[in-house]
Structure 1
Amino acid sequence: MIEEEQPKAEAPAEAEPTSEKSEKDQKKKGSFWKELPILLGVAVVVALLVRTFVMQSFWIPSGSMEHTLDVEDRVLVNKLVYDFRDPERGEIIVFTAPEEWRSDPNEEDFIKRVIGIGGDHVVCCDEQNRITVNDKPIDETSYLYTNPDGVQDAPSNNQFDIWVPEGRLWVMGDHRSASGDSRENFMRFKDINRSTIAVDAVIGKAFVTIWPVDRWRWLSVPDTFDDIPEPPKRP
């Protein structure tokens, strides 16, 4: 009779000596602390590159864009988009303001809405008190400031009829009665170059409000800027 072979018990694995295990753990910990400065350095470099070339947050210090942007809002700005194209009408941009626009020399960065681009004919106002761009009226009621009594700012309290030079932008705040912008500076200087900003001065496009949380929203271009015609022939 063939007897059934009984399974042989495996020999128990020898426990790793405590001293060797402790030594390995110490090496792992040592390796982590050696790598940590490198990891932190890489993280800092990446953050700086993103901030310098891709995106940056900006704090709103004034009421010139109310209530699209309120005081102490924070917006995220795309700094890369204008490496591939120029700013477009209706976009909200951050730019380095000319020194003569600043009430405080340290306040370099301004935020406004682009109303006219190079070559545009911008006029205030038509019979319905609307600004026109290349003879098309723009309806600004969706974003112009409205005070606590329900009274909305006029598109402009001053008349103007200008042509935007090539490579420059005509910009205005949404809170027209409290905005140092192209319109106000044109009234001061009567000089189209001193009252517009260079495309090269633009830092980026504000595309979302990120703070406070209850004001989070995309900053899209209003429909009224759709289908603006080409500029008419300049007289």
Structure 2
Amino acid sequence: MKPETKKNIFEWVRTIVIAVVLVFLFRHFVAEAFYIPSQSMEPTLKVGDRLYVEKVSYKFGDIKRGDIVVFTPPPSAKVPADEDHLIKRVIALPGETVKVEDGIVYVNDKALDEPYEAEKPTMEYKPFTVPDGQIFVMGDNRNNSYDSRYWGTLPIENVVGKAFVRYYPFSQMSGLYNK
């Protein structure tokens, strides 16, 4: 083999290795793609939507009410093994009291303005104060969402990141403006 051919092969291999490492680091630390498998976030997100979740902002800032987060479900959720991530909206933060009464979600006795919800929740939920280090999450499709009302609060450390853009289907490509 000619020295020039060896050099070209080495350059190609080196380029491919660097690209693979950069993709791995980007996916692990910066942003990752996720698929929506259920109707729990309709109408905001539909079954089959694909989105990017950024993993950086919560390293430098706090989770906010209204953020759409992807997370590893806590053991209390008892989800099937193939559901290693869930996506919901943050409703209440540590120290806040959440309740659902007459189809309205309240946080600290103040009704939330929720233009994103599919329909008013039919299930009542007695006042509950979110413990430190936890958040309370719900799907936008309130009557078809398995969320904190059923399995309890979510440890903040389980949050993978914040959904920020839907990239598929292309006709629905948009930023996800967390309220």
Q: What band does the TM-score fall into relative to the shorter chain?
A: over 0.9
Task: Give the Cα–Cα distance (whole angstroms) in 2 for the partners of residues 44 and 76 of structure 1.
Answer: 19
CA drift of 1:209 comes to 0.5
Calculate the TM-score normalised by the size of structure 2. Answer: 0.92
CA drift of 1:29 comes to 4.8
Structure 1 residues 33 and 158: CA distance shift in structure 2, 3 A: same
CA drift of 1:143 comes to 1.0
Task: Give the Cα–Cα distance (whole angstroms) in 1 for the partners of residues 8 and 46 of structure 2.
Answer: 45
How high is the sequence identity, in percent, across the aligned residues?
Answer: 39
1:182 matched to 2:148? The reply is yes
* Larger strand fraction of residues: 2
Unaligned runs of 5+ in 1: 1-25, 146-152, 186-194, 223-235
In the comparison of the two structures, how many residue pairs are matched?
178
For each residue in 1:144-178, what CA deviation from the matched residue of structure 2 results, as whole angstroms up to 9, or x when unmatched? 12xxxxxxx21342232111111100000011111
Counterpart position of 1:144: 117
Unaligned runs of 5+ in 2: none
Counterpart position of 2:42: 66
Counterpart position of 2:12: 36
Task: Give the Cα–Cα distance (whole angstroms) in 2 for the partners of residues 61 and 102 of structure 1.
Answer: 17
Counterpart position of 1:190: none
Q: Which has the larger radius of gyration?
A: 1
Contact 1:86 1:199 in 2 (8 A): no
Calculate the TM-score normalised by the size of structure 1. Answer: 0.71
Contact 2:121 2:143 in 1 (8 A): no
Counterpart position of 2:28: 52
Contact 1:56 1:77 in 2 (8 A): yes
Runs of 4+ deviating beyond 4 Å:
26-30
Task: Give the Cα–Cα distance (whole angstroms) in 1 for the partners of residues 16 and 141 of structure 2.
Answer: 43
For each residue in 1:66-112, what CA deviation from the matched residue of structure 2 results, as whole angstroms up to 9, or x when unmatched? 12111111010001111112311000000000233133122120000
CA drift of 1:136 comes to 1.9
Task: Give the Cα–Cα distance (whole angstroms) in 2 for the partners of residues 51 and 34 of structure 1.
Answer: 26
Contact 1:102 1:108 in 2 (8 A): no
